[in-house]
DNA sequence: CCCTTGCTAGTCAAACTTGATTACCAGTCG
DNA sequence: CGACTGGTAATCAAGTTTGACTAGCAAGGG
């Protein structure tokens, strides 16, 4: 799974209705251009693709306030919301060790009810354990690990990484069970988007004027 | 950086001269189809691309012993060897947290002299530290981390992951300095390819007859 | 007034990735 | 022997990702 659809769906959903540039700015605000493939091209492509597939509804309009070409606004459909939640749940449970997907999933975890988040994360640790077992069992040759030479270091790395992640996941579960953060249906949600016209306090310093210069 | 070029260059190099199917089998032997994007299409594409760019030399020939279409054999050029080593060094030093690149790099690390491997890995830990510092500093808002809400968990994950990797890297450095494994110029190298006609003792069970059935 | 700078918004070609599909040959089973 | 299975070797179309490029408008400077 690539992170882009999850990110874009999540961003559009938080806005209710958004055009490409708004999504792009949100993702930049989240720093997503640094830890995922959220480049302009990918974002616009994802929007179009998902509109074509019926996950988003495209309002062909708006000759754009404040310069630039006419823009299309997108709204998430019911289908799209289902898909969003499906992607989010999958990203939270499956152990595929891609940082971008994980990061996005955590960013959106509060869109789920607290109890479900905990359940999914527990399932995640279970799967990490399962994967760990399959690696240690499957990859070690019958005649002892010495056969592997330096190749054994690869598995060593995998195990090390998996263990670290399992540990982190346990910690997160504990914090969530301990009442941290505000989840779906618990009142005033965390706001993670820029309101129209508001300035981006984060950013990398530069905005993206012309994108390359 | 994608892992495919590194993997393909490394495979061709170990053979001296190889055709696509051979490379494909090596990568499967290494399990690379499971932890990287080493699918047939990508492999053949990479071979052609790199031949076009002069990293490989293509011998248009060989109407294939034992069935199948005529095959092209590739040989790595000097340019290609340089590029291979450059990619390998980059993969070893830079902290970009992509499992496939890391795994490939470790698999090929013994193509470098022992001393250089150690130097590169030390540089890697240095960069991890640097990155860690930039995350803790850059991403925490002025008015305290409470502002971040659950978003702080993302950084928490990053830090956790980076620490685990730094730890693992330290361990690897220690083992290498302690004399483990056989590096470039230290005699009989570790053999990680199938000799022509030899059977693959690993594999996932299935070979790839027709690839989809 | 016109020309540069800079932001808004998006397009495009080229490269890469994916999964399915093709073509050829050898053995073998009835 | 003829049909089928299975391995060898590669191609192809469709989809994705990338990085560079375009175009509109506004503000300010000279």
Of B30, B141, B153, the CB nearest to A172: B153
pLDDT of A97: 83
Predicted local distance difference test score (pLDDT) of residue A145: 62
| pLDDT at position A109 | 96
Cβ distance of B190 and A150 shorter than 8 Å:
yes
pLDDT (average), residues A38-53:
94
Q: How confident is the model at residue B96 (pLDDT cuts 50, 70, 90)?
A: confident
User: A200 pLDDT exceeds 90?
Assistant: no
Query: Phi and psi at residue B75, in whole multiples of 5°?
Result: -130, 145
Q: Which of A118, A125, A154, A200 is the mutation pick for testing B, counting most B CBs within 10 A?
A: A154
The minimal CB distance from B103 to the residues A103, A154, A172 is found for A154
Confidence of residue A209 (pLDDT cuts 50, 70, 90): low
Q: Is the pLDDT of residue A208 over 70?
A: no
Chain B residue numbers with beta carbons less than 8 Å from the beta carbon of A156 are 168, 171-172
Query: Cβ of A68 < 7 Å from strand C?
Result: yes
B135 vs A129, residue with greater confidence: A129
Rounded mean pLDDT of B9-28? Answer: 93
Distance, in Å, from the CA atom of A177 to the CA atom of B32, rounded to the nearest integer, reads: 38
3-state percent helix, strand, coil for chain A, nearest multiple of 5: 60, 5, 35
* pLDDT of A147 strictly over 90: no
Tell whether A184 is within 8 A of chain B (Cβ): no
Q: Is the CB of A42 under 7 A from strand C?
A: no
> What's the confidence (pLDDT) of residue B196?
45
Supply the pLDDT for residue A135. Answer: 86
Q: CB neighbours (10 Å) of residue B9?
A: 26
pLDDT higher than 80, residue A188: no
Say yes or no to pLDDT of B20 above 60: yes
pLDDT, mean over chain A: 85
pLDDT in tens, B61-85: 766 566 667 789 999 999 999 999 9
A164 and B CB contact within 8 Å: yes
Residue at minimum CA to C1' distance from nucleotide D20:
A212
SS3 of residue A165 by DSSP: helix
pLDDT bin (cut points 50, 70, 90) of residue B140 is: low
| pLDDT tens per residue, range B155-180 | 999 999 999 999 999 999 999 999 99
A22 pLDDT exceeds 80? yes
Supply the pLDDT for residue A96.
Answer: 85
| Cα separation, A168 vs A190, whole angstroms | 22
Q: Does the beta carbon of A170 lie under 8 angstroms from any beta carbon of chain B? A: no
Residue B204 bridge partners (DSSP) = B206
Q: Do A97 and B102 count as a contact with CB atoms less than 8 A apart?
A: no
pLDDT of A191 reads 66
Which pLDDT band holds residue B201 (cuts at 50, 70, 90)?
very low
Question: What is the number of H-type helices and E-type strands within chain B?
Answer: 8, 3
Confidence category of residue B197, pLDDT binned at 50, 70, 90 = very low
Confidence at B148, pLDDT banded by 50, 70, 90: confident
Q: Decide if A161 and B151 are in contact by the 8 Å CB cutoff.
A: no
- SS3 of chain B: helix, strand, coil, percent, to 5: 60, 5, 35
- How far apart CA B55 and CA B49 sit, in angstroms, is 9
Per residue in A89-126, pLDDT (tens digit) is: 999 999 988 999 999 999 999 999 999 999 999 999 99
- Whole-number mean pLDDT of chain B? 86
- For B178, the 3-state DSSP assignment is coil
Chain B contacts of A167, Cβ < 8 Å? 160
pLDDT at A137: 81
DSSP structural state of residue A141: -
Per-residue pLDDT, B151: 87
Q: Which chain B residues are closer than 8 Å to A168 by Cβ?
A: 156-157, 160-161
**Do the chains contact at A103 and B180, CB–CB below 8 Å?**
no
pLDDT class of B141 with cuts at 50, 70, 90: low
Q: Which of A6-10, A45-49, A142-146 bottoms out in mean pLDDT, i.e. has the lowest?
A: A142-146
Interface check A180 vs B, CB under 8 A: yes
What is the per-residue burial (b if ≥16 Cβ within 10 Å, else e) of A153-166? bbbbbbbbbbebbb
Range with the poorest average pLDDT among A25-34, A202-211, B26-35, B120-129: A202-211
A143, pLDDT greater than 80: no
Contacts of A201 in chain B (CB under 8 A): 141
Which residue among B141, B154, B168 sits closest to A157, beta carbon to beta carbon? B168
Q: Is the CB of B4 under 7 A from strand C?
A: yes
Residue whose CA lies closest to nucleotide D17 C1': A42
Q: Residues of chain A with pLDDT > 90: what percent?
A: 64
Determine whether the interchain pair B190/A97 forms a contact, defined as Cβ–Cβ distance below 8 Å: no
Please give the nucleotide, over all strands, whose C1' is closest to the CA of residue B18. Answer: D9
CA neighbours within 13 Å on the CB side: how many for A192?
27
Least confident of A128-137, B9-18, B201-210: B201-210
Name which residue leads in pLDDT, A194 or B156.
B156
Burial class (CB in 10 A: 0-12, 13-18, 19+), A167: middle
CB contact under 8 A, A151 and B181: no
Q: What DSSP state is assigned to residue B54? A: T
């Amino acid at each position: 799974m690539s992170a882009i659809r999850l990110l874009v769906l999540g961003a559009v959903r938080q806005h209710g209705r958004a055009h490409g540039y708004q999504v792009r700015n949100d993702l930049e605000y989240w720093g997503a251009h640094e830890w995922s493939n959220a480049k302009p091209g990918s974002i616009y492509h994802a929007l179009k693709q998902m509109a074509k597939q019926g996950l988003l509804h495209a309002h062909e309009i708006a000759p754009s306030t404040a310069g630039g070409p006419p823009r299309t606004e997108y709204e998430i459909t019911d289908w799209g919301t289902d898909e969003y939640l499906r992607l989010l749940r999958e990203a939270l449970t499956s152990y595929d060790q891609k940082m971008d997907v994980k990061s996005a999933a955590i960013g959106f975890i509060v869109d789920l009810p607290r109890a479900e988040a905990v359940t999914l994360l527990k399932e995640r640790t279970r799967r990490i354990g399962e994967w760990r077992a399959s690696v240690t069992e499957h990859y070690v040759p019958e005649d002892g690990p010495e056969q592997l030479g330096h190749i054994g270091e690869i598995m060593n790395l995998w195990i090390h990484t998996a263990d670290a992640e399992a540990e982190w996941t346990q910690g997160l579960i504990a914090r969530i069970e301990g009442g941290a953060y505000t989840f779906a249906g618990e009142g005033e949600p965390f706001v993670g988007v820029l309101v129209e016209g508001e300035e981006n306090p984060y950013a990398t310093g530069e905005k993206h004027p012309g994108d390359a210069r």
